[in-house]
Amino acid sequence: MEKEIDILQFTDEWGPEKIVEVYDPKTGMRGFTVIDNTALGPAKGGIRMTSSVDVKEVFRLARAMTWKCALAGLPFGGGKSGIIFDSKKDGKKKGEFIKAFARAIRNESPSQYVSAPDINTSEKEMEIYVRENGHFNSATGKPLAFCRKKLFRKKVCGLPHELGSTGYGVAHSTEIALKHAKIPVNEATVAIEGFGNVGTFTFKKLEEMGAKIVAVSDSKGVLYNPSGLKYHEVMKIKMDKGSVIFGNGKKLPGEKIFELPVDVLIPAALPDVINKGNMNKVKAKIIVEAANIPMPLDVEEKLSKRILIIPDFVANAGGVISSYAEYIGKGPEYMHELVRKKLRDNTDLVLKTAFEKKITPREAGMKIAQERVKRAMERRNSR
């Protein structure tokens, strides 16, 4: 490509170590991989396919993965990839774009970078990527039925994010937050923004724990019932009629979910949904950030003075923890137990650190993550 990357605009004491920009003349695929920091292990992060993705966006996401992996206690660094993809114009070439991208970064993957699903990529694209790359561990989030045989005929298979690892982890993080707030989980009321993969599995697991989910939303609006909603009923309505709003309860505009009088608010879909325009209307005692960047940092800082907020890179780490389980050849049962343990331990550690040092949970989480990466960098530099 003619345009050169000015790597200096991104660099600081942590990285990035490498930015790779690629182009395939045959398909027209244009993409890039940012390998931010590999002190703890190969850079881990998904492949995002959108028409607007650029190097700056991918760098920010790669840096977030550096902290997320470190805080989760995983032997991964932070990375991310982007492929410029217009679904209307390039939709039929999606598989070819993935193949071309896998070929183009073969020198980096999996030795320095391990991919995963992200926006507009799924287990299907990860299988295509791995087959083209030629190395089973060049990507995680592969289909459960996509397997290979190891020594002694042991079979190792993919662990797709469709197993619900992120939402499952959010539920466990929520339970620990409730414990710190001295609210019994079986007395807690919860509102969940978003009924996609993360929102549905969060709903299901919290209901199993005994919490009362009183509101859930999708792109059509909010379903609110102070008496409580049932997962199987809401899921059936969603499947049958295309939206949760047709369920048993009041239909509200989408933005109203952030104003409900609940113990726990879980934004699990879009970025910046809590902002300067509605922050003063939030009545929840706890916010658990299941989505990435559900509010600007300055808004989060202000709200932290009156609301207990579990940051995104703490609460939604279940996906990358699942990736690690897949990476080392484990199955769904092991993965769910690992997600459960790490989310509970890490949320507890972050909150204890925040309370002891009188700082916000985000500051506490960043402090822990940065100390771990710094120690790893020092060990690497002393060799």
> Would you name the residues annotated as active-site residues?
80
Q: What is the pLDDT of residue 2?
A: 41
pLDDT band at 152 (very low <50, low <70, confident <90, very high): low
Dump the DSSP string for 201-261. Answer: HHHHHHHHHT-EEEEEEETTEEEE-TT---HHHHHHHHHHHSSGGGSSSEEE-GGGGGGS-
6-48: pLDDT as tens digits: 667 779 999 999 999 999 999 999 999 999 999 999 999 999 9
Q: What is the pLDDT of residue 266?
A: 98
- pLDDT at position 153 over 90: no
Q: Residue 110, preceding bond cis, omega within 30 degrees? A: yes
**Largest pairwise CA distance in the chain:** 63
Q: What is the pLDDT of residue 5?
A: 57
* C-beta of residue 375 within 8 angstroms of C-beta of residue 357: no
Tokens (6 digits) for 263:
């113990």
Per-residue pLDDT, averaged over 98-126, amounts to: 97
* C-beta of residue 291 within 8 angstroms of C-beta of residue 312: yes
Q: Which of 90-94, 323-327, 353-357 has the lowest mean pLDDT?
A: 90-94
Q: What is the pLDDT of residue 296?
A: 94
Q: What is the pLDDT of residue 162?
A: 84
161-214: pLDDT as tens digits: 889 999 999 999 999 999 999 999 999 999 999 999 999 999 999 999 999 999
Percentage of residues of the chain with pLDDT beyond 70: 97
299-308: pLDDT as tens digits: 999 999 999 9
- pLDDT at position 294 over 60: yes
* C-beta of residue 77 within 8 angstroms of C-beta of residue 112: no
- pLDDT at position 73 over 90: yes
- pLDDT at position 1 over 50: no
Per-residue pLDDT, averaged over 217-241, amounts to: 97
* C-beta of residue 274 within 8 angstroms of C-beta of residue 295: yes
pTM over 0.85: yes
Tell me which residue has tokens 């992200």.
118
Q: What is the pLDDT of residue 114?
A: 98
Reference 20, options 40, 43, 41, 52; nearest CA is 43
- pLDDT at position 263 over 70: yes
Per-residue pLDDT, averaged over 85-109, amounts to: 96
Tokens (6 digits) for 13:
């004491």
Q: Which domains are present in the chain?
A: 7-67+76-158 (3.40.50.10860), 165-318+348-366 (3.40.50.720)
Q: What is the pLDDT of residue 6?
A: 65
The helix-helix angle for 165-180 and 318-327 (nearest 10°) equals 130
Percentage of residues of the chain with pLDDT beyond 90: 91
Q: What is the pLDDT of residue 103?
A: 98
Nearest 5°: the CA angle 325, 127, 158 is 25
Per-residue pLDDT, averaged over 261-280, amounts to: 96
Q: How far apart are CA 291 and CA 192, in angstroms?
A: 11
Per-residue pLDDT, averaged over 313-335, amounts to: 96
Answer with the residue of higher pLDDT: 8 or 79: 79
The helix-helix angle for 332-357 and 165-180 (nearest 10°) equals 30
Q: How far apart are CA 206 and CA 183, in angstroms?
A: 14
Nearest 5°: the CA angle 40, 46, 51 is 140
The Cβ of residue 372 has, within 10 Å, a number of other Cβ atoms equal to 18
